[in-house]
Structure 1
């Protein structure tokens, strides 16, 4: 069972030097700085973030490794911010499991659970290790948006970015060679031309719906053609592919 702590709003101002070790502190001052690094609170001073986190419906929960946080059949209508640890996002069916992404500190999840009438969530979110998550309920997020338009603007900007990202991901379903699919996968996830995969070769092959042998062959061809450099799980795009 998840360990829950309701946030207590305080009148003191946050201290940027406060420890952020979630196993030692659950006070708002411990994670207001982390919250400020997310899209939701971009451009908002820490003192004002501190006040927003005092909104009713904001809470912190702790999950052990492999504990399910969100599931298709049992969603929590809340936006999650990872304070410490990692979360694994997968698509599940009766006979199959497809890895989608690995989320890290200050990453967010749960936007697809908010502001609609559907009962099912779109994926399963599981703790990849001992993980602490800040959860903002739909009602709390609505209240924050009403109090500070910057929260609304940041949320809309995030949704627009997600739409563009998913549109680019759909390109991978167009007729392509295996090499093009692998290259597209790397391109859509690379930052400054570098993609450090959280997945093993087997997991990456599963995500691309190809065999390990086919994946190795495709990566070798991309390397030989000078389109990527590969160092273990790290891939660097060539200058031409990164433009």
Structure 2
């Protein structure tokens, strides 16, 4: 494995805290797989996925979901980001998103068995894995708490209030407005109506950005 790939792993959450030498030693006897993708290639989808974790070595991937008529971009994954953990070490056989290559790139894959061997070799990797899953559980718990509000406007308000605004009052959401509507289970018209209401605490400005009113 070349130095560029090792550096990508070193900067991932899974291998955080390990040196290049430690990572190379851990993977020496692990039959991991590296796959190169071209732009627009489908990495995985609800109809076609494998139970394994992917770590991006180069390039960017787009995470999307579909309803009956539209495609929503949920997230863009970059170098060192991981995906696929939700289907590992459990009986979950569903993968709800479609991941496509936004640019040309490479992904390293590790199966459950390979991860188990790595955990046995180095407990820090196991701790990192637990930490990632704990963050995921906290995120889902927060989302459920937001969705428990019956009023769409309350859901929007609570979601935005938990994101710190920058010095210009801009609230940096890590998803598209369309995807945000899916997450909050609201119609696009509801979100735009809220953001255009002079009595709301937030407003929509240029480039689809949201600003907290003073």
Report the TM-score, using the length of structure 1 for normalisation.
0.71
**Within-5 A mapping of 1:56-67:** 56-67=30-41
Which of 7, 19, 23 is the equivalent residue of 1:45? 19
Equivalents in 1 of 2:122, 2:133: separation in Å?
18
Aligned residues between the structures: 211
SS of match in other structure, 1:56: coil
1:32 maps to: 6
Change (3 A) 1:83 1:33: same
Q: CA RMSD in A?
A: 3.2
Is residue 104 from structure 1 mapped to residue 78 from structure 2 by the alignment?
Answer: yes
Which of 204, 208, 215 is the equivalent residue of 2:191? 215
Q: Which of the pair has the greater relative contact order for Cα pairs under 8 Å at 6+ separation?
A: 2
SS of match in other structure, 1:82: strand
**5+ residue gaps in structure 1?**
1-26
- Structure 1 contact 80–110 (Cα < 8 Å) conserved: yes
Report the TM-score, using the length of structure 2 for normalisation.
0.79
CA positional deviation for 1:153: 0.8
SS of match in other structure, 2:43: strand
2:95 maps to: 121
Change (3 A) 1:207 1:163: closer
Structure 1 stretch 149-158 or stretch 97-106: which is displaced more? 97-106
1:233 maps to: 208
1:195 maps to: 172
* 1:11-30 Cα deviation digits (max 9, x unpaired): xxxxxxxxxxxxxxxx4311
- Structure 1 contact 65–129 (Cα < 8 Å) conserved: yes
Equivalents in 1 of 2:51, 2:90: separation in Å?
10
CA positional deviation for 1:150: 0.5
Is residue 146 from structure 1 mapped to residue 120 from structure 2 by the alignment?
Answer: yes
- Structure 2 contact 74–179 (Cα < 8 Å) conserved: no
Equivalents in 2 of 1:47, 1:238: separation in Å?
50
Equivalents in 1 of 2:83, 2:165: separation in Å?
20
